[in-house]
Amino acid sequence: MVERKILLGNEAIAHGLLEAGCSMATSYPGTPASEIMATLIQLKKHHGVPCHLEWSVNEKVAVETALANSYAGRRSAAAMKQVGLNVAADPVMSAAYTGVKGGFLLIVADDPGPHSSQTEQDTRQFAMFAKLPVLDPALPSQAREWIASAYTLSEHYEIPVILRPTTRVCHARQDMAVRAFCTDVVQPVFEKDPGRWAATPKFRYRLHQQLNEKLEKISRDALWQPRLLNADALREATEPQAIKPFDKVLVTSGAVCAHAVEILRALNLWDRVPIYQVPMPYPLSEDFCSELLEAASEILVLEETQPVIEGQIRDRKKVRGRWSGHVPKEGELLPEIVENILRRFLNLSPAAPSPPPAPGRRPTLCAGCGHRAAFFAIRKVFPKGIYASDIGCYTLGLNLGAVDTVLCMGASISQAAGFYHAYRDAGQESRHVVATIGDSTFYHAGVPALINAVTQGCRFPVIILDNGTTAMTGHQPTPAAGVTADGTKVPAVSLEALAKACGVNHVSVGDPYDVTGFMELLQAAKAHCQDSENGGMAVVIARRPCLMEHSRHEGRKPRPQQPIVTEKCEGCGFCLKFFECPALIFHGENQAVTIDDNLCAGCGVCVEVCPHKAIVKPSADA
């Protein structure tokens, strides 16, 4: 009997890669793509598949490393989220010209919504920009099934291919058969060809011509043509219907295709309204566009996030979509939204209104998180400062009034430098600027920014919030961990040594749980920055392991005793407003706060936070 499993979309992608003979996969963690590499690591451990796996230091490095494996004739993959593609843009754009030998699959998970991203970036649009074919699966099973064919496409045309699952594909679950993994070891063979692999501008022009020729052929590749999903809808085209089939046609791609199929079935319109799935939105077949425009009087394009297909069907009089206003110009196309769009397009009565969504809870740092204590100390030492921050759990320092800007990975230090220059040039050097950045983000993109700040004569403190892991995306190891993705021991890269190597003379390390001691470190950093003769940049490392990661490795241990709220508490709310620990419960003004036993981690920081000393540590014999 064939073994079957219910696989998460990202798990299915990992299975597909190993089934297709991928010999190297690289990644930088980022939701919704993180589980791809995590699953590959587990599968390699259990099945001994000969595949090099790594959490790379950033997406650019991930692409460049995997690309070399493809240059040597072996199948490779690099996985990331959509904003990570911006970091990898340089090698991706160039790889379109050089092409590949072994199949190269760039897996970029998009986040329509966006649920956990800075932007609703559409990788299909990026694929057009880079001139690379992009595949848009609707279901986890499709994402998996298409991988082997995508490698064939990549190798046949010697071009990188992008697979673009969205959040709903990455995080949906589907039942599917378990297959054997490819264990063949393809020996690397790198054929020297400097005119291609190290081309100068003159050769690049020729490579661009070749790329355009490839795209023309790929757009006509029979395997990736748009597919009519309901042939019955066209067979009944000549019969009189309330909705004339050829009057209105649907063109879909990605997860929204799956929604549209279900809705057509629910409305009993499956055999009356033709619906096409476009597996490869770019390059889209010119023949398909021409035939569609000739056959249909109205074409509704349903796609996330940007009008990639809609833009390639050029007759604006017939096409309905985001540009025409028939589809919202932003946001995820959830099933209820798609149904209303379809009803309007097909002249049906509107659906019954949905009940209003339940009120959400504001996201906050975990109870006992060391970042909260660090932010509290920063605000005490640098009141009214400008707080430039970065991407990660610590973005939630927004709630504490300790984060003013968040742009993209590594930007906190660069932006702090910009603020520093602006105020210094205006003669306002006394205005304090503070940068906060996580340990993983510092390795990812903070190092060049710190070097730049040092060499441009900046004077502000950088607080590296070091919890020992890449927490927000699932606790992947950082370069400081001293282990690879599969746990193999390797040299660790010290944050302290790295900061000093960037040219920072004042580097200190402290535990933010020790609020008083940590504030002294911040004061020393502040004094160093202000020292007109010997001062400069300062780095303070706030080192406190992530509680979730710590408990995962150390197991559950008895929690420290929880603090006690005494009768001195008058319900001033200071601890809630400036510390916002979710374990503290506010009952109203002039009423004492209480502590949630289930949430409290026993860190005891609230004892130091309370200005009235109304929260105390339990006695040793309590």
Residues that constitute the known binding site for [4Fe-4S] cluster: 569, 572, 575, 581, 600, 603, 606, 610
For residue 215, which of 312, 108, 82 has the smallest C-alpha distance? 312
CB 254 within 8 A of CB 166: yes
Give 112-130 as a DSSP string.
SS-SSSS----HHHHHHHH
Instruction: Looking at 463-588, list the stretches that DSSP marks H as alpha helix, in order from N- to C-terminal side.
Output: 495-501, 515-530, 547-554, 574-578
3-state secondary structure (DSSP) of residue 458: coil
> How far is the C-alpha of 131 from the C-alpha of 200, rounded, in Å?
19
* 4 strand-pairing partners: 177
Distance from the Cα of residue 468 to its chain's centroid: 20
Contacts of 231 (CB under 8 A, 6+ apart): none
* Run of H or E residues at 302: strand 298-302
Q: Give the side-chain half-sphere CA count within 13 A for 352.
A: 1
CB 318 within 8 A of CB 296: yes
Contacts of 572 (CB under 8 A, 6+ apart): 589, 611, 612
3-state secondary structure (DSSP) of residue 486: coil
Residue bearing tokens 């933010």: 512
How far from 332 is each of 168, 259, 301, CA to CA, in Å?
10, 12, 14
Contacts of 530 (CB under 8 A, 6+ apart): 459
- Class of residue 217 by CB neighbours under 10 A (exposed 0-12, middle 13-18, buried 19+): exposed
Name the binding residues. Answer: 569, 572, 575, 581, 600, 603, 606, 610
Q: Which amino acid is at 116?
A: S
> How far is the C-alpha of 599 from the C-alpha of 562, rounded, in Å?
10
Residue bearing tokens 């603020």: 419
Residue bearing tokens 């996580």: 438
* 175 strand-pairing partners: 6
